[in-house]
Chains A and B, each alone.
Chain A
Amino acid sequence: MGARPIIQVENLSHTYMKGTPLEHVALKGANLYVEEGECIAIIGHTGSGKSTLIQHFNGLMRPESGKVIIDGVDLSKKKVDVKTLRQKVGLVFQNPEDQIFEKIIGDDIAYGPFKLGLPLKEVRERVKWAMSVVGLDFEQMKDRQTFALSGGQKRKVALAGILALKPKILVLDEPTAGLDPKSRNELLEKIKRLNREEKLTVIFVSHNMEEVAMLADRIYVMAGGKDVLCGTPKEIFTDKEKLQLHHIGTPETVQVLYRLTDLGYKVSVDAFSISEATEEIIKVLHGTKEDLEDVQRV
């Protein structure tokens, strides 16, 4: 992991429909710091401002007050080369419907590379590559109509359209919502590989704590338009008080381990990856007599 900061957000605020009777404050003083090559999860309740925050990363929204610095570019300045910025920061929207606008899948994924002015051959290569990453068959799917796709297929096409830009920073808004468990796991593995092997910086919003525990190096918790908590999954998921204070859910593994400690078993609650948790549980099952007597006394 490089120690170079690639995204810095300081005291960022945003108001929708500013100056109208319908104005709504979505962000009030959010902070975030991401290093190159990190994988960051942003969690928080519905309406806490996650989508608003990440739309600042590729300059779709400009800081109304506060600072956003992306790879050394200060977005609060008036003159920003947004085109280069948007190629560098690939943003996948929360709703794939909002992202797909061409009629044919192949055209839609090729839109970005074409706009970059790449030669046809290279565009084709990129479309092929992007489709294989998200698990869409190139030959079979490239000529299908985009409106006649299932929700999960749309999500994959939307992601492929962004990957084809070959961004340095990948920003995903709930990337696995609406996917079946198999595609979900495949996609997560792919994202993990892109992050670990191709050194892509990944920032993703998620409501699924298993996913967060599996992927994230660090977690930011948002509430009421602010970042209220930040730390590694271990730090966040083992801090019971804060979890309750901010109504944060935990992966099921952590829930099981917490139940076991409540019942008096000695397990470590920070073993939340499935394999670690299994080991902890096996330990309990093979527990020594003394341990069991301990439990009975409690």
Chain B
Amino acid sequence: MSSEFEISRSITIGQYVPTDSYIHRLDPRVKLLLFVVIVVAIAFNTSYIGNAIGLFLSLYLFWASKIPISYGLSGVKPAIPFIIILALLQLLFQGQLFSGGKVYVDYGFILITSESIRLVVVSAVRFIEIIFLSSVLTLSTSTTQLTHSIQSLLSPLKKINFPVHEISLITTISIRFVPTFAIEMEKMMKAQASRGADFGTGGWWRIIQRTKETFPIIIPLFNIALSRAEDLILAMESRCYTPGGNRSSYSVYKTLAKDYLVLLVGLLFAYLLIFYPFPF
């Protein structure tokens, strides 16, 4: 009960946890590339077995990067209401689109078949897998590493005048600021609660009440976000940051044999997820 206002505890995206595991020491570019490829593969896979394997993989990655799985689970918890609502909506209203297989319920516009159930279950599991995977990626990769790897993966686009550096900077700043905003939101809620606002008096399942409670925080949070952005600009400019400038980097990443090995295994895995005809 002591965590009424501890939102930051359940934000696992954008929080770097240095445990110096095998995963941490992988080439960040390999990690990022595999992340993208595997997320796409998971999005393609519609079988129960395939997604079970994907879920298993994402849990394994937590274990391999020496980050407690309970921490990963706490990142999924706030998403549970959304997953449930989404699943219900899909189950009730999208049955017609994905009819097929055995028919369980056929009542007016509601059509529930084994195929539509599969769709619902698989998309919920997919959602969880993707939260897990992105958590592992950001938990095991520092902001600098992420920036560099986005930049180097996108660098071929420089030829067509695509602002690679700017895009990678923007991406990493936004990821980096997720936990920061969780902390700001926590403070805002504490400030309002201290002066008589109701927060956290209903359980997490009382979605409407909890949603209403968040409205008065959102606008001040925007103000904070803007002033944070201004501060960041000042901080960067005072260290002589110029957009578009040519800069060298302090750490140079070398892709070693083990990185290629991991890359190979990962690509193979993604290939299987997409093309292997899982029986179930």
A→B interface (CB under 8 Å)? 14, 16-22, 55, 58, 60-64, 78, 82-83, 86-87, 90-91, 93, 98-102, 111-112, 115-116, 147, 161-162, 165
Q: A82 to B190, alpha carbons, bound, how many Å?
A: 12
B83 proximal to A (CB < 8 A): no
In the assembled complex, which residues on chain A have CB atoms less than 8 Å from the CB atom of B246?
none
In the assembled complex, which residues on chain A have CB atoms less than 8 Å from the CB atom of B196?
83, 86-87, 111-112, 115-116, 165
CB < 8 Å A-B pair total: 82
Q: A87 to B195, alpha carbons, bound, how many Å?
A: 7
Q: Which of B68, B188, B198, B220 lies in contact with A20, CB distance below 8 A?
A: B68
Excluding A20-B74, A83-B196, A101-B220, 18 further A-B contacts by CB distance (< 8 Å) are A19-B70, A19-B74, A21-B71, A60-B194, A62-B1, A62-B4, A78-B1, A82-B201, A86-B196, A90-B194, A93-B187, A93-B194, A111-B196, A112-B195, A112-B196, A116-B196, A147-B227, A165-B196
Shortest 5 CB-CB contacts between residues of A and residues of B? A115-B196, A112-B195, A101-B220, A62-B2, A98-B187
Chain B residues numbered 178-227 whose CB sits less than 8 Å from any CB in chain A: 187-188, 190-198, 201, 220, 223, 227
* Secondary structure class of chain A's binding surface, majority of residues: loop
- Interface residues on chain B, number (Cβ under 8 Å): 31
Stretch at the interface among B5-13, B51-59, B148-156, B247-255: B5-13
In the assembled complex, which residues on chain A have CB atoms less than 8 Å from the CB atom of B194?
58, 60, 86, 90-91, 93, 99, 162
In the assembled complex, which residues on chain A have CB atoms less than 8 Å from the CB atom of B190?
55, 60, 93, 98
**20 A-B pairs in the complex with CB atoms less than 8 angstroms apart:** A17-B6, A20-B74, A21-B19, A21-B67, A58-B194, A60-B5, A61-B2, A61-B5, A62-B1, A63-B2, A64-B2, A78-B1, A86-B193, A90-B194, A93-B187, A93-B191, A100-B191, A116-B196, A162-B194, A162-B195
- Smallest beta-carbon distance B3→chain A, Å: 8
Contact, CB under 8 Å: B19 / A165 = no
